[in-house]
Amino acid sequence: MQQYFVDEMPKNNQVQLPADAAHHFVRVMRAVVGSECEVVLPDHRVFKAQLVDRDTAKLALVNQIDRQPELPVNVILACGLPKTKGKPELIVQKGTELGADKIIFFAAKRSISQWRDNKLAKKLAHLQKIAHAAAEQSHRTKIPEIGYDNSLDALLKHEPADFRLVAWEESAKQGEHAQLVQTLRQIKKGQSLLAIFGPEGGISQSEIDYMTSNQVKAAGLGPRILRTETAPLYFLACVSYQLELD
C-alpha cells in the first residue's frame, strides 16, 4: 500500500496530506473517497487511513499499524563528496532504503568538487527530496537527514557518535578483516555509528592518520575494490544482517 509522510499531528482523527503527497494520491494514484493508504505521523507512528475529501486531501485514520522498519542503531553515513554526477543521488536513494539515519557529504582531501555556500541549500533540498521519496517507497517511518560538512574536521566535530569507523581498503591488505564484525557485535540498540567513506580517489593516508588519532577505527569491507557509492551500501547491508537477521 502507498505510504505518505504527514507533517501535522491528527485533529479529530483526521490528517491532511502535504501538497506533493496530495497530488500523488489524488491525481497520480487516482484515489477516490474511501481509497486507503498508510500515513506516517510526525511521531513516526503508522496508520492506515482513508480518503474523506478529494479536494482537501483529508484522510480519516482507520487503525494503527504495528511496523518497525528502522535499524536498531542510528547509522550516520559520511561520504567524501563524489565528483561523478548521479552518485550522491544513488547513495541517498539506496542509503535511505537500507536504513541510514543521516547521510552527510563532506569535502574530503581527494574530493574534486565542493559544494559552495551559494549552491549548498539547493543541492541539499534536491537530495532531501530523494530521501523523502525513498523513505516512502521502502516504507520507513523516518526520513534521513541530508547534510554537508566542508571538512573532515568539521564532520568529526559534528558527529561524536558512540562508534566511528572509516572504510579503508588498505586495511584488508594489512590483514585486518574483522573490525566491522567486532563493532557490530559490540554496538547496542539505540547507540549511534558513524561510518566514513572516501570519494573516488579514496581516503588519503593523512586523513586516515588524523582519524585513527581521533577514535575512528579503520575497517576493511572485503577483498574487492568497491566504488565510492557501493561501499556505504555494502556497509548498511552488513549492519542489517548482523542486527536484524541474526
**Positions in the binding site for its own copies (CB under 8 A):** 67-69, 94, 97-99, 137-140, 177-178, 180-181, 220-227, 230, 233-235, 237-238, 240-242, 244-246
When the beta carbons of 67 and 123 are compared against its own copies, the nearer one is 67
Instruction: Compute the least distance from the CB of residue 145 to its own copies, in Å.
Output: 17
Instruction: Compute the least distance from the CB of residue 154 to its own copies, in Å.
Output: 29
When the beta carbons of 114 and 242 are compared against its own copies, the nearer one is 242
When the beta carbons of 61 and 226 are compared against its own copies, the nearer one is 226
**β-bridge partners, 105:** 79, 148
The whole-angstrom separation of Cα 227 and Cα 204 is: 16
- Structure-block grid coordinates of residue 221: 569491507
Full strand arrangement of the beta sheet holding 14-16: 3-5, 36-40, 46-53, 58-65, 14-16
Instruction: Compute the least distance from the CB of residue 103 to its own copies, in Å.
Output: 15
Instruction: Compute the least distance from the CB of residue 177 to its own copies, in Å.
Output: 5
Q: What's the chain's length in residues?
A: 246
Return the closest-CA partner of residue 20 out of 143, 146, 133.
Answer: 133
When the beta carbons of 39 and 152 are compared against its own copies, the nearer one is 39
Task: Output the CA–CA distances (angstroms, integers) from residue 34 to 16, 21, 48, 53, 91, in the order listed.
Answer: 15, 17, 12, 9, 37
